[in-house]
Structure 1
């Protein structure tokens, strides 16, 4: 539909004089038709109003020169802050565009010069199509920028946690990634070989499908997952195992605060290094089940923890428990030889060892548990000897 020059000029004049009225009508339509608009905070409602006003102004400019350079949604969104793309989705933005188009279309008979009604409606349809496509481009660019920023922030947070540098700013940075204090799973392992950008992005998406807001760190072929979740953490760990490559996969100690997450991450990394020393270690394995091996690779935290949970409780219990465990281990884990050495019945030795199991959770009659207690006793004696010499 072609309009004469005079008709176009008159229609353009009417559009320019009616922009304020159209913007007000568009906001009324949004308030009446869309519940989400009414639930927006005042500031964000103001942003949407700015976008609606800009949309009408942009249409008027486009109508004045439809063959000129047109920046589409970039022009509309220029007056609104970048945060708008976070609080108002693309779907809602298209609703704004449709509302603006509808308002102009509803007022076409009043706005258009005589004989220009059909031409104005055709122009509205062409404009709405161009804006819809360019709005999608704006949101795609915003998502790309936000994704790059989130990736940098995620790497910064994980690096700080692994290094144990939990400062006052870290909680807010972690919160920006969706983490909040609560039961947190920390898992460390290896990837399936070197990963490119596409593979890394897919790995992150996979982890976040399993645990919303999971933080994923990829350093070379090292992989760490930090997932805040209210579901069973062992089940969560099992659900993400396929994402890890060959080699040990270690679950860090339970964590709730960021400081505990940092400790858990360091314990898990030490566990990955130490796990090969235990040929029968399960996969995944708890970092606390690798305490003796972690001591061997120089993990002082593992040394202190092993002494505190496997040696000190037995010493504090008093009586003959410490002597019985020490004798049993020194006698090659033989009940009969231990009994003869201490001049007691074998059943007495068995009874005392059962008490140790109830006290510590380790059964010295088990080969693996005996190894844990033997290491703990050796470390405890060294610590006690060092204190005595001071």
Structure 2
């Protein structure tokens, strides 16, 4: 049994150091990583891995960081990996992040000093009710914090340091994987599975204390192109069919009370237009389509096409092209074939003195795609809240429980296999 104790405050210090490094990813960039600055954090992570004794730590040309905690048991065990991502979301600035520790939180409004209009209130953040007496870290009001997913990075690093310093804590071979570009859906595009050399793993990228997520959305992306008829607007009567207006009509014809993010929750899926562009002759919309089963995903795609056809029936000279491409699939389909991975994760959380909450993600993780690449990979809480926003926060005590959970997972696999 392990006894991790953050007595020297190294966990918060690690996290704050990482948070100050700007690692925002860029969906418009074709490179990997999408922003070179992500490698600044990668270099720091490699340096720290080497310092704690992980001698094979390295970052490859694409910005992926790898390292191995060697086995210290005579048992032949599966190889586990722990994974977090280095980039922060393009949705909110990650430049010049100034983390602030609010010691011994007592339920008060947290007014952020660099913009006092940004206030973190318990009434808006329900999980703050469970944080009385804890130490809360926020940004200063003009940026996100980056707890998504630098909390996970710090937790994995702390767990790795503990295991390297405490050889009496028995475990098999453990791999560390830090990825770029997760926030723009490319987190495992160029992962080297041979170099990773693992059988399965756990992403440390979840929200609420105690959560383990073994189910994600299944996801498709759709591109709709409308081909209208352009003529001089002064002589357009009976001739022009504006692709812009046709596209607007299609969007307006989609449901407003169902099948849209604003009106769905829990296990309900949606069709969501995320961008539009175009002229009279040709206009385009990008959609994301989400649900928890492949069957419902296919139904949503068919419904979108049916809606398009109904509108286009009014415009006989115009046409359309709809391309639907798979993005990722619900990892539960894979994890259900390997139940011990989730069972041991739940036990590890409970050994940390926390009630485990098995739940679904209305989104995806690196683990969604890794699961379909042959590496089953549920998601464990990192303690991050209100991510992608200036109100982002994390609790130091929740992070400590995540570190303990990572260590416990390593121990349980050694004990039980």
Normalising by structure 1, we get a TM-score of 0.23
Q: Based on CA coordinates, which of the two structures has the bigger radius of gyration? A: 1
Structure 1 or 2: larger strand share? 2
Question: Relative contact order (alpha carbons < 8 A, sep ≥ 6): 1 or 2 greater?
Answer: 2
Normalising by structure 2, we get a TM-score of 0.22
Structure 1 or 2: larger helix share? 1
